[in-house]
Each structure stands twice: as structure tokens, then as C-alpha cells.
Amino acid sequence: MEKNWVKIFTSTNYYQSEIVKQMLTEHQITSVLINKQDSAHRTFGNIEVYIHQEDFSKAIEVIILNQAPNL
């Protein structure tokens, strides 16, 4: 992964991570999902959302203000 990427969100639920990624994308914040779950046992590991470091403040604001249910 390139330099200057920071983790903004972590979940064991893929759909929650995807919702966060889509919220960020709607606000023109580039984000990527990294799936670190075990391929055989989906209950082990996390799905992480990463953004560029310079977008961190804006991303936190987007997540807080647009918080989806159950995040």
C-alpha cells in the first residue's frame, strides 16, 4: 500500500465497512477496503477502511455526521 494511508474504520462486518466506504466516496474522499478476514472462517479477522492521511479530518466529520445505524 502507498504511503500516507490511514485506517479510519474497522469492522468484522463487511457490509458496515462497505457503507462507510460509500459514505466517504459520496463526499469525494478516496477510500479502499482491506479484507483481513480468514477465508475459511469469516468470524476471524477484520475489514478495514483506509483513506489518505490529508482527508482524515473531513472523513471523521463525514462518518460522525452521517452515521449509519448500527455502526
Instruction: From first to last of the 71 residues of the chain, give the pLDDT tens digit.
Output: 678 999 999 998 889 999 999 999 999 999 999 988 877 766 678 899 999 999 999 999 998 888 755 55
Confidence (pTM): 0.82
Radius of gyration of the chain (CA): 12
Full set of structural domains in the chain with CATH: 5-65 (3.30.70.1530)
Give the helix ranges, DSSP H, for the chain.
14-26, 56-65
> In this predicted structure, what is the pLDDT of residue 38?
72
